[in-house]
Amino acid sequence: MSDDLLSPRPSTPAHDHLAGLNEEQRLAVETTEGPLLILAGAGTGKTRVLTTRFAHILLEGLAWPEQILAVTFTNKAAREMRERVSAILEKPVEGLWLGTFHSLCARMLRQHAPRLGLDRQFTILDADDQLRLLKQIMVAEKIDLKSAPPPQLLHHIQLWKDRALLPEDITAAHDVDFMNGRARHFYALYQTRLKELSACDFGDLMLHMVTIFRRYPEVLTQYHRRFRYILVDEYQDTNTIQYLWLRLLAKRDTQQPANIACVGDDDQSIYSWRGAEIANILRFEKDFPGAKVIRLERNYRSTPRILSAASGVIAHNEGRMGKTLRPGLEGEEGERISVINTPDSDDEARVVAETIRSLHGKNQSYGDMAILIRAGFQTRPFEESLMRSGIPYQVIGGMRFYERAEIRDGTAYMRALAHPADDLAFERIINVPKRGVGNIALSKLRQNARDRQLPLQATLQEQLAQGMIKGKAAATLSEFMACFDRARETLAKQGHVVAVEQLLEESGYLTMWREDQRSVEAAGRLDNLREMLRAIGEFATLEEFLEHIALVMDSDQLQNDTNRVSLMTLHAAKGLEFKTVFLPGWEEGLFPSQRSLDEGGQAALEEERRLAYVGLTRARERAFILHATSRRIYANWQDSIPSRFIDELPDEHVHVSEPTRKQNAAFGKSFWRRSQSSPASTTSFSRPLSVKKQIIVPLGATVKHSRFGEGVVLKADGERLTVNFEEAGMKTIMANFVEVVS
């Protein structure tokens, strides 16, 4: 390496790039030496600080462009940083080591690949290629792919790579209850085959570089000498191997502390499900002794009330470094957070649509409004309410509900059930799940049907009856057709909801998704299918539902309007902002999710709370939180308990809506108080009298519920009661919903 590379570039005159920074932002930019953690709250200008710091180092002559390593999580963020730095310098910047973790590791690996027996021109396999390669290996080892699904094995392998574990590192403690402990054996075979092909998968890019750094200290020393400064964005989202890679690059053998600056927000760490470790940011000061921590707490996005509400919620988390957002600019307090209680989930969607229309009538653009949901299946009622109201919308980070593959499959099953002559629907599902009907077999069936001038279902029934289909396929397809016969009998006797659920169950379609453990995606698909079954119950007949779907799918004219309401999950909303935000479904079991409550313990609950904080801080001017008294699961209604996060909102920044007459009748009394100070622009009311746990029900008391009858209180957590009802069994329910009998 040239000595010239080690000498920083002379200072370059430029305009005042520090102008407009507040005191904390300027300190973060000018603190160039030593380890630095910039705790940047939502809306505090972290991107500006990071890019200005990058430019400041260059303008002060502290380093050449190629002596700065800048790491982002997305290519979009890397492009934005490059453009902003160039704008500050007033010229393009060349030679930057700026990009995502994987792109930077790929660049390094091209130079050092031979050390691991790889060609420098190695191939990077995509997801389909990885799966195909693993299937080949498993077939060669005579593994039954049904009992050991390749996607599940690949998922475990990628998790090991994200934890920086090579095949030889896997012990019985690391292994999983899968393939009788042979998963690590196939991991080794997979890695061997990749090397033979001179190929890498996505996880290898980082794994190989960490391996090289550990095995070849001279390579690591080269990068120590090259990089004078390291900048890292979104540090709270780093996983184990990303953390190790950064530690190796930043830790020097010399006494000189590393010039590593990490920007992140522990309160916005919401990606543990994809490997992110919040502990990485929480232990920064331990990892880098003498590190300086600068908190950016001046928020330039939201009103004081929104900030206070968000801070009140997140303060309940114990695993955080601590900071409090405050307004960056002087101004009015703004509107209180509106907490709206609706009778049911359908009314919740209607209220949101009506409020959006009202705000739009007051000159707020649709593009300045967003509906942020906890789970993907929640989109359906909102999509339909928006369409009925003629409100243009877009689903961000996902497909519209009825466009999703599992919903199209479910709809095809329904069409084939209701219309045996619907060949397009039958073709879609004849081999989903796999029934041994490949393209050639389907082509022959299609030709036979044309020759006979019969629908595909009738033709298949005829071929089975005549013994024209042999072997395993004959038995599988005979059972498949029998499923339709039984479902049609059920349709006539018990109705369409039961018939469709029976068909999806007996055909193996629901089982296919239950057994797919690749990722959280399969669980999400099952949730969507449950929501579809719930939607069927809203229609008198299956024909009415199918006609409704056809009309919904034909509403493409709304997509041509660029000024649309955004509908997305809370995870997808991170980094975005809107004038008005709607946060529906704040109920126990939905948000926080039941999965996090059952399986994740305190850590999972705190991540759910961080998700609530992210949702609230997306709003600039107003936020509406909604929860429904009941939600329909399939054809039945189930009472819902308001989310604990609603209890955690500071009273002085919240108005709660009054229940409808329907709710008052259900509860037996009204427990809400109208607020006289409610702003005219919203239907807002004061907190319910029940929120501060004023209703006490003793253990062992006999209580009566309007739907479940009488039961005994076994447990009380504030107002959340666990009651053993004589007929309905064990239920968790709010004290307001029951009457003490004795």
Residue of 250, 236, 178, 153 whose CA lies nearest to 519: 153
Q: How many CB atoms lie within 10 A of CB 596?
A: 20
Q: What are phi and psi of 636, to 5 degrees?
A: -110, 150
What type of residue sits at position 366? Y
Q: What is the DSSP letter of 597?
A: I
Strands across the sheet with 97-100, in order?
97-100, 68-72, 229-232, 260-264, 36-40, 292-296
In the beta sheet, which residues pair with residue 94?
none
The answer to whether residues 581 and 565 touch, using CB atoms and an 8 Å cutoff, is no
Residue of 208, 558, 611 whose CA lies nearest to 400: 558
The answer to whether residues 63 and 8 touch, using CB atoms and an 8 Å cutoff, is yes
What type of residue sits at position 726? E
State the angle between helix axes of 601-616 and 304-314 in degrees (0 to 180), rounded to the nearest 10: 180
Question: Omega before 392 cis (within 30°)?
Answer: no
Reduce the secondary structure of 287-328 to three states and give it as a string: HCCCCEEEEECEECCCCHHHHHHHHHHHCCCCCCCCCCCEEC
The answer to whether residues 604 and 612 touch, using CB atoms and an 8 Å cutoff, is no
β-strand pairing of 738-740 with 702-705: antiparallel
C-alpha distances out from residue 167 to 127, 183, 190, 207, 393, Å = 20, 10, 10, 11, 47
Secondary-structure breakdown of the chain: helix, strand, coil percentages, each rounded to the nearest 5: 50, 15, 35
What type of residue sits at position 655? H
Residue 406, exposed/middle/buried by CB under 10 A (0-12, 13-18, 19+)?
Answer: buried
- Of the chain, the end-to-end C-alpha distance in Å amounts to 85
Alpha-carbon torsion angle 351, 352, 355, 360, nearest 10: -150
Q: What is the CA radius of gyration of the chain?
A: 29
* Interatomic CA distance for residues 602 and 663, integer angstroms: 33
Active site residues: 46-47, 233-234, 268, 618
Query: What tokens does 243 get?
Result: 């953390």
Which alpha helices (DSSP H) does 495-600 contain, by range? 496-506, 509-514, 520-536, 542-553, 570-573, 594-595
3-state secondary structure of 440: helix
The answer to whether residues 349 and 296 touch, using CB atoms and an 8 Å cutoff, is no
The answer to whether residues 727 and 708 touch, using CB atoms and an 8 Å cutoff, is yes
Q: What is the DSSP letter of 580?
A: E
3-state secondary structure of 636: strand
3-state secondary structure of 5: helix
3-state secondary structure of 8: coil
Which residue has tokens 């290898």? Answer: 204
